[in-house]
Homo-oligomer: A and B are copies of this chain.
Amino acid sequence: MERVMEQATLKLRVNDDRGPVEGIYGAGEHSLAGIFAMQGALMRVERNVEVYGEEEPAEYLYQVVSGAVRTYKVLQDGRRQIGAFHLPGDIFGLEADEVHAFSAEAVSDCTLRIARRASIMALATRDGDLATELWQRTAEAFRRAQEHMLLLGRKNAEERVASFLLRMAARTATGQAIELPMSRQDIADYLGLTIETVSRTLTILENRAAIELPSSRRIFVRSRSSLQQLNA
């Protein structure tokens, strides 16, 4: 398999804008969301630009403000597995090691909030609650990874696509109209399929009246139950 991914020129802008950030962990002094809200510098990343690369020293933790980010690993020959998409509110870069375990790229033009890992580490050593939150958030990422392994190892194409759609729908206001920030190639690399199989499977689901495809980036869930049936 070959694929060439054009790389836009890097354009970073870091400023001191501050704004409210909500999160399930509250926004106190000793919560990650709080730290991001208080001390997080804003950073803009253009579509397809790398946020960090595998093996690079992990200098920051990141929170998505707007846009979407993919974290992934690649084989030498270019085969790529996307482990997760990070949407607004999500925190990523939690690998805890000194070095990133995988790469992160902007799926669309993004605004991120960044916080120095070193300062968070320093705080965490003194503050058990913060350290516990780092743990819990990482554990949550691990839980999702385990779920995704089940999908990649044991589900067929229809089940994979259905799972994906349900997961995306769950993150949407209405839970019906999905606005996809990512391309078919991204979806394919997330689901461990080819772009053609993703496309075909979406068509099948449309013919079955489970979904509607008004445009390639917009999907309506017509029959949640038929998707759930496939969610095994």
Contact = CB atoms under 8 A, between A and B. Distances in A.
A128 interface: yes
A35 interface: no
Nearest to A145: B145
Nearest to A135: B135
A217 interface: no
B139 A94 contact: yes
Nearest to A100: B143
A140 B161 CA distance: 29
Copy number in this complex?
Answer: 2
Q: Range of interface residues on chain A?
A: 35 or more
Contacts of A192: 152-154
Contacts of A152: 149, 152-153, 192
> Chain B CB within 10 Å — which of A136, A139, A192, A232 has the most?
A139
A138 to B, nearest CB: 5
A94 B94 CA distance: 16
A168 to B, nearest CB: 18
A179 interface: no
> Chain B CB within 10 Å — which of A71, A146, A150, A154 has the most?
A146
> Chain B CB within 10 Å — which of A95, A102, A135 has the most?
A135
A134 interface: yes
B150 A95 contact: no
Interface stretch (A14-22, A41-49, A119-127, A199-207): A119-127
A124 B128 contact: yes
Contact of A146 (B75, B80, B101, B143): B101
Given A96-B136, A147-B73, A80 B154 contact: yes
Contacts of A132: 121, 124-125, 131, 134
Given A83-B146, A126-B128, A135-B138, 7 more contacts: A71-B146, A75-B150, A77-B232, A81-B154, A97-B140, A125-B132, A145-B145
